[in-house]
Amino acid sequence: MMHLISLKNIYSKQLPNMPKEYIVRLLLHYSHKSVVLLKRNGTVMGGITYRAFTPQGFGEIAFCAIASSEQVKGYGTRLMNYTKEYAVTMDHLSHFLTYADNNAVGYFTKQGFTKEITLDKA
Ligand code: COA
């Protein structure tokens, strides 16, 4: 719970247009999971929160952020790779969807996301 609250603080700093109440509601909701990136000393550096739609085989990334002092050091890529691995092995998902902020499109493209949805429409 403490890690989730630290992650909430990072999200609300990094995503200033998102209302804090909205972040808390999704982050603490049982249908959402969060992968948290920790430093060796236990400090939360960032995380990804997603909702698994297991029967349909995809997950929806709701939030993704790295603390500003730790950005552009490769942690965002590492975090995404761990999250993908977890979602594939534990939730049996094959795809992630997200509604990205304009200035995060570059990051998501580098993580293999496409603007065209390649999933079957149904
Ligand atoms: N625009 C374009 N490219 C970006 C980028 C951005 N905003 N942020 C990172 N990149 C690039 C990096 O240059 C790097 O490229 P390279 O592999 O060619 O060197 C690559 O993406 C991965 O960078 P990395 O260091 O692994 O990412 P990060 O730790 O900086 O984390 C974010 C990326 C997006 C998670 C981080 O910048 C962040 O928290 N931003 C604010 C919150 C946000 O916008 N979240 C996404 C919407 S929910």
Domains in the chain, CATH or no CATH each: 2-110 (3.40.630.30)
Rama region for 79: left / alpha / beta (φ>0; ψ in -120 to 50; rest): alpha
pLDDT in tens, 34-66: 999 999 999 999 999 999 999 999 999 999 999
Establish whether 60 is a catalytic residue.
yes
pTM metric for this prediction? 0.94
Give the single-character DSSP code of 98. E
Q: How many angstroms does the Cα of residue 105 sit away from the middle of ligand 1?
A: 9
Q: How many angstroms does the Cα of residue 104 sit away from the middle of ligand 1?
A: 7
Atom of ligand 1 nearest to the CA of 80: 26
Q: Which helix (H) or strand (E) holds 60?
A: strand 58-66
Residue nearest (by alpha carbon) to ligand 1 atom 28: 76
| pLDDT band per the 50, 70, 90 thresholds, residue 121 | confident
The neighbouring-strand residues paired with 52 are: 59
Atom of ligand 1 nearest to the CA of 100: 47
